[in-house]
Amino acid sequence: MNRQNNARTGPGTAFITGVTGQDGSYLAESLMSQGWEVHGLVRHVPAHINDGETTVDGVEYHLGDLSQPHDVGSVLKSVRPDLVFNLGGISSVYQSWQQPYETALVSGASVVSMLEATWQLQQATGKEIRFLQASSAELFGEAKSAPQNERTPISPVSPYGAAKAFAHHAVNVYRGRGMFAASAILYNHESVRRPAKFVTRKITAGAAAIAAGKLDKLSLGNLDAVRDWGWAPDFVDAMERIVSAANPSDFVVATGVSHSVQDFVEAAFAAVGIDNWRSVVELDESLARPSDAAEMRGDITKISSELGWRPSMDFESLVAAMVRNDEDLLAKDKAPQL
Ligand code: NAP
C-alpha cells in the first residue's frame, strides 16, 4: 500500500477490529508485509483462540468488545493509529436472525462509537486518521435488478443487512463532517479461512468428508440463492486501495459474476469426483432463512476504473482451492466440525 506517514515504524500504524476473522487476518498479514505496525481488537486472549479464528504473528492484540464503546475508545487512544479498519462484528446473516438485537448493537450501533472515537482522536491530535468500514452487499437485499452499484437503493431484508445499512449511513455522516471515512461494499468472499458455519465452507468441508467416507449426507437450506463469490485476499487488496484513495468514498467490491448455491455444490462435488451429488445432499427447511436477498451481483466499474482493482480468482478455482484445503485438513485429522 503506497502511503507515506510520519509513523513510528514503517509506513504507519493500522488498527483492525475483527482481526482474528477471515478478512482481518489476511489484512494483518498483508499490512505487516509492507512494514505497517498492526494492532487488533480481540474479545479474548489469542492463546485461547477458538476454531475458525486465525492469529497472526507480530500483531499487537488489545482486549475489547465492540458492544462496549468505552473499550474501543480507550484502545484507539492508546494505539493512535493512522488507519482504522472496522471489520469486526456478527458477519453471518443466519446468525443475525438468531441474535437480531446483538447484531444491531455490534454490527450497527458500535460503528458510530468507533467513528466518534476516531473523530475525537483526530481532533485532539491534529493527525488525519483514515477509517474503512466493511459494508455489505446485504444493504441491497431487495434489489430490483442486478448488478448493483454504489447508487442502488438501500433496502435490507435481514437484521444483518439492517445493521450494516445503519453503519453505512453513519460512515457517510462522518464523511460529511470532514473525516476520511470510506466504505467497501463487500459481496460474498471466501477462502480457506472461512468458518464452517458459512454455507460455502460447509459445502467444501462436507464434499471432502463424503468423498473420504467420513460423512453420509450434507444438509443444506436454500440452494436457489444467487450470490457473487470472490476470493478474500483479493478483497483485502481492495480495502487497502480504498483507504489509500485520494478521497473517501463508497466502492462496490465484487467479481461481477453470480452463481447459485447449487452451482457451488456441483463445483465442490465435481472437485472431489462425485457427479451424483443429489444422492448425498438433503434439504433441511430449518436451515433456510426467513427471507433471503435477491440475486446479488456487483458492478465493479467504479473500483476498477478509479482504483485499478480487479479480482484475480474465478469461481471454479475458488471452490477447488477450498475443497483441496479441506481434503488436506481431513488427512491431518483437523477437519472443521460440521
Ligand atoms: P469473520 O471471519 O466472521 O470475522 C468477524 C470478526 O469479528 C472476528 O474476529 C470476531 O471475533 C469479531 N467480532 C465479532 N463480534 C465481536 C465483538 N462483539 N467485539 C469484537 N470483535 C467481534 O468475518 P469476515 O468474513 O472476516 O468479514 C469481515 C467483515 O466484512 C465483517 O464486518 C463482515 O460483516 C463484512 N462482510 C463480509 C463478507 C464475507 O463474505 N466475508 C461479505 C460482506 C461483508 P471473535 O473471534 O471474538 O468472534
pLDDT of residue 46: 67
Q: Is 309 left (phi over 0), alpha (psi -120 to 50) or beta?
A: beta
Q: What is the pTM of this model?
A: 0.95
Please determine, for residue 262, whether its predicted confidence score (pLDDT) is greater than 60: yes
Ligand 1 probe mutation, 38, 61, 70, 87, most atoms within 8 A of CB: 87
Whether the ω angle into residue 153 lies within 30 degrees of 0, i.e. cis, is no
pLDDT of residue 285: 79
Separation of 90 CA from ligand 1 center, angstroms? Answer: 6
pLDDT of residue 49: 56
Nearest CA to ligand 1 atom 4: 21
User: Does ligand 1 come within 6 angstroms of the Cβ of 67?
Assistant: yes
Task: Give the DSSP H or E segment for 84.
Answer: strand 83-86
Confidence of residue 56 (pLDDT cuts 50, 70, 90): confident
User: Does ligand 1 come within 6 angstroms of the Cβ of 293?
Assistant: no
Nearest CA to ligand 1 atom 42: 188
pLDDT of residue 55: 83
User: Does ligand 1 come within 6 angstroms of the Cβ of 191?
Assistant: no
Query: What domains are there in the chain, each with its CATH number?
Result: 13-190+231-253 (3.40.50.720)
Share above pLDDT 70 across residues of the chain, in percent, rounded to a whole number: 94
Nearest CA to ligand 1 atom 38: 188
User: Does ligand 1 come within 6 angstroms of the Cβ of 134?
Assistant: yes
User: What are 60's strand-pairing partners?
Assistant: 39
CA distance 198 to 180: 32
298-311 tens-digit pLDDT: 999 999 999 999 99
Name the residues annotated as catalytic: 136, 138, 160
